[in-house]
A and B are shown apart, each in its own frame.
Chain A
Amino acid sequence: MDTTPPFASLDACPPGSDADFALSGRLELSTVSALWQETRQRIAGPTRIDASKVSACDGAGAALLFDLHRQGARIAGLRPEFQRLLDSLEPDKPFAPGKLAHRKPLLIRAGQFLHDWLLELRQQITFTGAIAADLADLVRHPRNLRWQDFLRQCELTGANALPIISLIAFLIGVILAFQSALPLRQFGAEIFVANLLGLSLVREMGPLITAILLAGRTGAAFAAEIGTMKVNEEVNALTTFGFDPVRFLVLPRLLAGLLMAPLLTACAEIVGLVAGALVLEGFGIPFNTFFHQVASSTNLADFVGGMVKAAVFGLEIAAIGCLRGLATGAGASAVGSSTTRAVVQTLVILVVTDGLFAMLYYYLKI
């Protein structure tokens, strides 16, 4: 058994001997660090090194010997096994110049950015076209849809999201009612909280809150799931079997989003109103009065307008999630960036769409 203490040293040889320096001890990852710096300071140019007292040498030790050799030192007396290790590293072969990622000029980067942006725009247009074509085809051949998959997606997107959406809607209802009841109370007008709550939940808050929750919950899940399938070449497998990934993966999710978003929105509106009614009960306004007030101030057009908006939101959330999933690059980090982009893009699109709907309903006088 080798009992050499774990150290390594570099000593100058007496003048007149065969070597300038003598290396001794164990050249190992745990010992070479200090020695390496010492050799850098003391050894420069062609020197002769006696390495016969080296008792152990691992990969890091061999790297040190390699470094010395490269600087012109002649190493003699290495044990044969260490010599073989050093030889296996091919010390005479120079390192290939590393391909360094250098920063490109501004103009080229700007061009690259524009190019990428146009490419993505094209991708989005193609995707929208593919969806439209497949939807049109679905109307003619409803059997082409994978109904089992569609129902499963409905469960995942709709039923499973109900608890969180109800919870948030309840909170929103309570907060809206409470915050508006306090100032209105000064005028003895608490009853109008019902008008405020009814209109704002049905027209605006219900669809938007539901959509934001769905974007974080479902849109992200679509992007991550399809993105992982892309990374694992499952999407390629579908393509080679002759399945259209859009029809196979996207359509069931798209329809589930389209259908579930309005349903969830309706639930959110009911829960929010009930929460508001509970708050107003505390202010001395009975349930009946509250719901009568809501019914008289909110009409069917408000409700249908909200539902249409919710359906469009659902479609957008599912479509962007799926598109980002299908556009995923390679590797685990690509899935992460797809998911992030899906959520961010969806939120931006939601706000823009909501603005467009506000204008549309204004001109349509809904």
Chain B
Amino acid sequence: MIAPTIRVENLRCGYGKRVLLDDINFSIEAGEVVTILGGSGCGKSTLLKHLIGLYKPMSGRIEIGGDDFVGASGALRERILRRFGVMYQSGALFGSMTVLENVRLPLESFSDLDEKSIDLVARLKLRQVGLEDFAAFLPSELSGGMQKRAAIARAMVLDPAILFLDEPSAGLDPVTSAGLDALIRRLAEIQGMTIVVVTHELASIAAIADRAIMLDRDAQGIIAVGTPAELAEHTDPRVRRFFLREPENHLTGS
């Protein structure tokens, strides 16, 4: 499958009348791992929610594989959504189902595989995220990190062309987090998935990203785009501060 690219043009988004991000332009090529980064409250998650169609932008255009996503409805929208796998910040696993049932659910609805095959595919996804032994557990019986890994397994179970991950490594220990980074890289390299990761973990950005897009709250938009190495050497003081982990003068804006 040719992974669709994402192209965003003149996007303006926010909530109600409040504009959070304005004049957003970028494109993501097939098979790229791109991180969206920035400080707290800069609109990273907001941008992600617009990219996956949870919210309609105020204006602008989002193209997924050449199709206009903002104006899409009916079958076209369904088709575009089917190309996505999304992992939400809190995992968003269905609490009344076991981990395995959570992972099986999309396969049962959207594939024509038989029971045995569905079970195997789901179990292999759990093996990929290291949760094979926890298949029969309820999400509430797992730790926060495990829930996130289970959520990643569910997000990628249909082998989506584009995988969106909202803060995958937040709240995880460094070892688990590194394991997750390796998994993300492997999915991109071996399966050619396009992966968009919202994060503010510096270690993750360096480990996984081909490119990073940095947002800023005060600028209400993108202040830098480039490889992690380029961003680390960036001359913009706001970017430097982020990469050197320098606090601002006031506590609230760190």
Contact = CB atoms under 8 A, between A and B. Distances in A.
A84 B192 CA distance: 13
Interface string B35-78: 00000000000000000000000000000000000000000000
A101 B136 contact: yes
Contacts, number: 85
B133 A58 contact: no
20 contacts: A29-B111, A32-B113, A36-B114, A36-B117, A56-B1, A58-B159, A59-B125, A59-B156, A59-B159, A59-B191, A62-B124, A63-B117, A63-B120, A63-B124, A81-B190, A85-B191, A95-B132, A99-B136, A331-B96, A333-B95
B138 A331 contact: yes
B121 interface: yes
Nearest to B186: A88
Contact of A29 (B100, B133, B158, B190): B158
Contacts of B114: 33, 36-37
Contacts of A82: 190
Contacts of A37: 114
B251 interface: no
B139 interface: yes
Nearest to A66: B124
A37 to B, nearest CB: 7
Contact of A58 (B1, B113, B139): B1
A67 interface: yes
B121 A2 contact: no
Interface string A110-128: 0000000000000000000
A107 interface: no
Interface string A92-104: 0001101111000
A331 B140 contact: yes
A33 B113 contact: yes
A333 B186 contact: no
A96 B95 contact: no
A9 B156 CA distance: 25
A351 interface: no
Contact of B133 (A32, A56, A81, A96): A96
B159 A28 contact: yes
Given A32-B113, A332-B95, 8 more contacts: A59-B191, A60-B113, A60-B121, A88-B186, A90-B127, A98-B100, A99-B136, A331-B138
A37 B140 CA distance: 36
A99 B99 CA distance: 12
A362 B214 CA distance: 77
B135 interface: yes
A59 B157 contact: yes
Given A36-B114, A37-B114, A59-B191, A329 B159 contact: no
Chain B interface bracket (under 10, 10 to 19, 20 to 34, 35 or more): 20 to 34
A238 interface: no
Contacts of A90: 127
Nearest to B189: A81
Nearest to A88: B186
B128 interface: yes
B2 interface: yes
Nearest to A81: B190
Contacts of B186: 84, 88
Contacts of B148: none
B12 interface: no
B190 A85 contact: yes
A88 B129 CA distance: 11
Nearest to A37: B114
A56 B124 CA distance: 18
Interface in A21-49: 28-30, 32-33, 36-37
B123 interface: yes
A66 B120 contact: yes
A60 B117 CA distance: 9
A76 interface: no
Nearest to A1: B2
Interface in A1-23: 1-2
Contact of B132 (A29, A56, A96): A96
A89 interface: yes
Contacts of B127: 89-90
Interface in B141-200: 156-159, 186, 189-191
Given A33-B113, A58-B159, A88-B128, A100 B140 contact: no
B233 interface: no
Contacts of A213: none
Interface string A227-258: 00000000000000000000000000000000
B69 to A, nearest CB: 21
A95 B123 contact: yes
Nearest to B112: A33
Contacts of B140: 329-331, 334
A68 B169 CA distance: 34
Contacts of A29: 111, 113, 158-159
Interface in B91-138: 95-96, 100, 111-114, 117, 120-121, 123-125, 127-128, 132-133, 135-136, 138
B160 to A, nearest CB: 10
Nearest to B141: A330
A92 to B, nearest CB: 12
Contact of B121 (A59, A84, A98, A331): A59
A90 B130 CA distance: 11
Q: Which of B100, B112, B117, B136 has the most CB of A within 10 A?
A: B117
